[in-house]
Amino acid sequence: MPSTTHAEWLSLAARLARPMHHLIDGRDEPGRGGSFPVVSPRDGQVFAEVSDGGPDEVDRAVAAARRAFDGGAWPRMSPAERGRVLQRFADLVEEHRSELAILISLEMGKPVTEATDIELRAVIHTLRYYGELADKLLDEAPHAGDDALALVTREPIGVVGAVVPWNFPLTLATWKIAPALAAGCTVVLKPSDQTPLSALRLGRLGSEAGLPDGVLNVVVGQGRAAGQALGLHPDVDVLAFTGSTAVGRHYLRYAADSNLKRVWLELGGKSPNIVLPDTPDLDTAAATAAWGIFFNAGEMCTAPSRLLVHSSIADRVVDAVVERARTLRVGDPLDPVTEMGPVASARQLESVLDHITSAHRDGARLRTGGSALPDRGGFHLEPTVFDQVTPDMRLAREEVFGPVLAVLTFDTIEQAVALANDSDYGLAAGLWTADLSTAHRVARRLRAGTVWVNCYEEGGLNVPFGGYKQSGNGRDKSTHAFEKFTELKTTWIKL
Ligand code: NAP
Ligand code: MG
């Protein structure tokens, strides 16, 4: 297939339909809350207006989801039929792949090529994976002696509230929606106010694929209004959240103040990437470290934002990362040659620049980058590397969520492990070594939900993903995701 040119992406973007309204009970609903503007980070311009949902719209969406769960066909149909609907959903996403990719790119600035090849591929794969699994879950019948029959059945939990951020807007939404729907739940999705259009389009494709009315609802609006209303709603059975640790705390409070709904949290990170001196291929380690922190403009919960490198090889590794940072093509996300787009919003740009200012103040050494690039037209930023970072500095402790790398050095494996674990977060870690025993020993000691050895950000849908410590609880992906959306029931029958 010939690849699409910059001019073609621009022309597709100009002609694109821009969904505006909530999806409630299978219908387009303007709601009563007026509308809010969506600003594209590629040029700082408003490119759409969408409905601004609040408690009223959330109420109606939850009521629709409740009806669809309590009396509707979805939880009652055969799991195989639910699986077929999810497969049709995947087919439709595949058909509309470019359109969804452009919406994401306009909304949050991800290069359109990455939206197409990485994000949409993940969305399609996730829908297919859970579609296939829908009829393959088995219940248990433990031995109960001659006089009884014990059944342990997994039942859909009910109405799911899903609240997600903007950095991988459809992947993270689908990681919740697909297992929830496969299990027989119904869903109200609240995407970020930065990325409402792609979520609305996804919801409508679900309806077209055959999801009955009310099974998948999308309410767009602000976290403090629509998000809070969903978190506090007495008729939501589980709240599955991906976002910052600060907002994750709010959802625990909302649950405590309402119906004790289950709350699952996928939160932030400050992931260490440890390079030991026996690393088999230092060039690959350095290239991967650079790719990892600059991919998606560093707006990755798993970004390897702390490079922990042995002092004997630090110069070589860091020089290579700095070189890569300097040659990275930063520009219009709709231009297929762009390797790094803008950060997602003016607020995000300001927040990343604030971290850069405090890194200077704390005495870290700037190796490259460090400034905004206003001449590129949007919220662009230079890929940035600081070395001579110490563990007490803000840059070593707080999530930046931008293209800013902190380099720390160590002399022993003990020091590396201590540095790696010296964090409130525990989402992911990288480890580079040629020694199999070292790899296993160190990986066991790292307090992180995922440890990548001699690679980063790899792996399939069949492995779980989630955090230790303040990076959250519960797991997305794999069959373990069903634990979020199901209850276990014991039925004990005396014979
Ligand atoms: P965020 O500010 O926490 O927002 C996440 C979601 O929560 C959005 O839909 C947001 O709505 C909503 N929200 C914000 N304030 C709220 C409030 N007071 N009450 C209820 N809901 C509220 O995070 P973000 O800036 O969008 O995304 C970046 C964060 O997500 C980073 O910390 C990153 O590490 C984390 N993340 C984690 C994972 C993971 O799987 N562990 C993956 C990706 C991202 P509005 O934005 O519309 O107001
Ligand atoms: Mg936000």
Q: What is the pLDDT of residues 25-48, one digit of tens each?
A: 999 999 999 999 999 999 999 999
Instruction: Report how far ligand 1's centroid is from the alpha carbon of 166 (Å).
Output: 8
Instruction: Give the whole-angstrom CA distance, residue 279 versus residue 277.
Output: 6
Q: Domain residue spans in the chain?
A: 6-267, 272-462
Asked if residue 1 has pLDDT above 80, the reply is no
CA of 266 to the centre of ligand 1 (A): 10
Q: At what angle do helices 413-421 and 436-445 cross, to 10 degrees?
A: 30
Q: What does the pLDDT average to over 395-404?
A: 98
Q: Give the pTM.
A: 0.98
Cα–Cα distance, 487 to 65 (Å, whole number): 18
CA of 445 relative to ligand 1 center, distance in Å:
29
* Closest CA relative to residue 202, chosen from 99, 74, 106: 99
- pLDDT tens digits, one per residue of 201-220: 999 999 999 999 999 999 99
Distance of alpha carbon 36 from alpha carbon 22, whole angstroms:
13
**Beta pairing, strands 238-242 & 262-266:** parallel
Cα separation, 275 vs 279, whole angstroms: 7
Of ligand 1's atoms, which has the minimum distance to the CA of residue 163? 9
CATH number of 6-267, picked from 1.10.150.120, 3.40.50.10490, 3.40.605.10, 3.90.470.10 = 3.40.605.10
Q: Does domain 272-462 have CATH number 3.40.309.10?
A: yes
Task: Indicate the pLDDT class of residue 2, thresholds 50, 70 and 90.
Answer: low
The single-letter code of the amino acid at 172 is: L
Decide: 379 in ligand 1 pocket, CB within 6 A: no
Among the listed residues 236, 18, 33, 184, the one whose alpha carbon sits nearest the alpha carbon of residue 107: 18
Give the integer Cα–Cα distance in Å for 421 and 427: 11
Any atom of ligand 1 within 6 Å of the Cβ of 102:
no
Q: How far is the CA of 250 from the centre of ligand 2 (A)?
A: 14
Query: Looking at ligand 1, which atom is closest to the CA of residue 165?
Result: 26
Residue 19 — pLDDT band, cuts 50, 70, 90? confident
Identify which ligand lies nearest to the alpha carbon of 224.
1
322-369, pLDDT tens digit by residue? 999 999 999 999 999 999 999 999 999 999 999 999 999 999 999 999
- CA torsion 357-358-360-363 (nearest 10°) is 180
CB 299 less than 6 A from any atom of ligand 1: no
Q: Nearest ligand, CA of residue 226?
A: 1
What does pLDDT average to over the chain?
98
Which structure tokens are listed for 374?
């206003």
What spacing in Å lies between the alpha carbon of 102 and ligand 1's midpoint? 22
Q: Please report which ligand is nearest the Cα atom of 402.
A: 1
Which of 253, 265, 301 has most ligand 1 atoms within 8 Å of its beta carbon, as the pocket-test mutant?
Answer: 301
Span from the CA of 412 to the centroid of ligand 2 (angstroms): 40
Q: 425 CB less than 6 Å from ligand 1?
A: no
359's tokens: 């890194």
Query: Which of 172, 242, 404 has the most ligand 1 atoms within 8 A of CB, as the residue to mutate?
Result: 242
Output the DSSP codes for 120-151: IHHHHHHHHHHHHHTT----B-----TTEEEE
Percent of the chain whose predicted confidence (pLDDT) is above 70? 100
Cα distances from 284 to residues 275, 287, 320, 433, in angstroms, run: 11, 5, 10, 12
Structure tokens at 364: 């870290």
Nearest atom (ligand 1) to Cα of 348: 25
Annotated catalytic residues are 266, 301
Which H/E stretch holds residue 172? helix 169-183
Our mutation pick for probing the ligand 1 site, out of 198, 244, 254, counting the most ligand atoms within 8 A of Cβ, is: 244
Question: pLDDT digits over 216-247, tens only?
Answer: 999 999 999 999 999 999 999 999 999 999 99
CB 243 near ligand 1, within 6 Å: yes
Residue 117 has what DSSP assignment?
I
The string of pLDDT tens digits covering residues 78-106 is 999 999 999 999 999 999 999 999 999 99
Q: Taking 60 as the threshold, does the pLDDT of residue 297 lie above it?
A: yes
Q: How far is CA 216 from CA 171, 189, 235, 299, 316, in A?
A: 16, 7, 15, 27, 51
Question: Which of the ligands is closest to the CA of residue 222?
Answer: 1
Task: Write the single-letter amino acid at 72.
Answer: G
